[in-house]
């Protein structure tokens, strides 16, 4: 087992997964516009692909970020509601998600991906913060597209799909970006689907549903006699599961199952991963690389070690064969 630690960087706004905060308090439209301008300047005034989750504050902040892109001479392409992993796959010179992931509705945030769909390094985020007060130059443009969801769904089903005929599955979309989309994917693969948290109204994302609160899904699976249930978080980069008895299956267990099923020789996890996982991997001669908490550190380790599978206890699952980032 090897361990990897990440250098601490003094950043004012960026945390472990982008910039997040309560809208109107820490996170304002002005700050988001400045982030849009700074990130565009940092990326070379190129094309910036922007998606968002279902929070009521999303449209305003999406427009603010786009205004920042345009003010720096870049091209903003707005895709509307789209899961985070879809933005990573479709990133142009920069990919941006307006989301606070698993946090409640009053929060929002900004996640950034480079042209390869990778989350930015600490150093890159520090460089962007240094450009927050850069003057506007103008000369940019804005466009809107509506085909991104279909492109993403096709990619996931074709590259990762398997025959689910005969399975009855509960799908909890957290009233987030996977609403309507995840049930459709399972149905296309032949499953019978019962949905939970599939009616977003801007104020109910992650509330009493999703990967952060499995109770509704557990009750639905047990009451309806389903074979299993899967729960996503608000922006779709995490997933947890429940078995036919409604018992939770966490990220450690999911990554362990995948490691053995896929026959990988190495896996990357964080310091939160339990001892049982390490023992199981040792029994099967699977090398374990341990990183600081945060899926981007797991991603960095996978790329550095030439491995393809990793994840976190919280439900981030990363499989880099035909993908670029974690995807619920």
Nearest by Cα to 82 from 32, 29, 151, 15: 151
DSSP 97: E
CA–CA separation, 147 and 15 (whole Å):
31
Measured CA distances, 41 to 36, 176, 211, 294, 315 (Å): 9, 30, 35, 26, 33
With residue 99 as reference, give the H or E element that holds it: none
289: helix, strand or coil: strand
Nearest by Cα to 286 from 269, 263, 315: 263
Contact 220, 195 (CB under 8 A): no
Given 101, 162, 179, 224, the catalytic residue: 101
Contact 240, 215 (CB under 8 A): no
Q: What is the DSSP string of 48-84?
A: EEEEE-S-TTHHHHHHHHHHHHHHTT-EEEEEEE--H
CA–CA separation, 272 and 267 (whole Å):
14
Q: Which residues of 292-327 are buried (b: 16+ CB within 10 A; e: fewer)?
A: bebbbbbbbbbeebebbbbbbbbbbbbbbeebbbbb
Contact 66, 76 (CB under 8 A): yes
Q: Catalytic: 101?
A: yes
The CB density around residue 228, as the number of other CB atoms within 10 Å, is: 18
Q: Looking at the annotation, which residues are catalytic? A: 101
């Amino acid at each position: 087992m090897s361990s990897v630690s990440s250098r601490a960087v003094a950043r004012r706004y960026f945390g472990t997964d982008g910039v997040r905060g309560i809208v109107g308090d820490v996170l304002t439209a002005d700050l988001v516009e400045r982030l849009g301008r700074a990130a565009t300047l940092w990326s070379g005034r190129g094309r910036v692909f922007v998606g968002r989750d279902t929070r009521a504050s999303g449209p305003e902040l999406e427009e603010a970020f786009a205004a920042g892109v345009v003010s720096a001479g870049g091209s903003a392409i707005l895709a509307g509601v789209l899961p985070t992993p879809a933005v990573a796959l479709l990133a142009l010179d920069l990919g941006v998600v307006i989301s606070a992931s698993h946090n409640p509705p009053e929060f929002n945030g900004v996640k950034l991906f480079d042209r390869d769909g990778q989350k930015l390094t600490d150093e890159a985020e520090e460089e962007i913060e240094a450009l927050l007060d850069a003057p506007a130059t103008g000369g940019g443009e804005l466009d809107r597209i509506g085909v991104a969801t279909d492109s993403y769904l096709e990619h996931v089903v074709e590259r990762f799909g398997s025959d689910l005929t005969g399975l009855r599955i509960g799908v909890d979309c957290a009233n987030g970006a996977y609403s309507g989309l995840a049930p459709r994917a399972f149905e296309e693969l032949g499953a019978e689907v019962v949905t939970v948290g599939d009616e977003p109204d801007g104020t109910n994302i992650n509330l009493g549903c999703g990967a952060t609160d499995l109770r509704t899904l557990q009750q639905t699976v047990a009451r309806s006699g389903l074979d299993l249930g899967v729960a996503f978080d608000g922006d779709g980069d995490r997933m947890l599961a429940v078995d036919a008895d409604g018992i939770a299956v966490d990220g450690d267990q999911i990554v362990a199952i995948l490691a053995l099923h896929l026959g990988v020789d190495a896996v990357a996890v964080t310091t939160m991963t339990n001892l049982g996982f390490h023992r199981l991997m040792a029994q099967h001669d699977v090398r374990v690389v341990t990183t600081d908490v945060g899926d981007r550190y797991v991603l960095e380790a996978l790329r550095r070690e030439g491995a393809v599978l990793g994840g976190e206890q919280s439900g981030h699952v990363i499989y880099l064969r035909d993908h670029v980032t974690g995807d619920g």
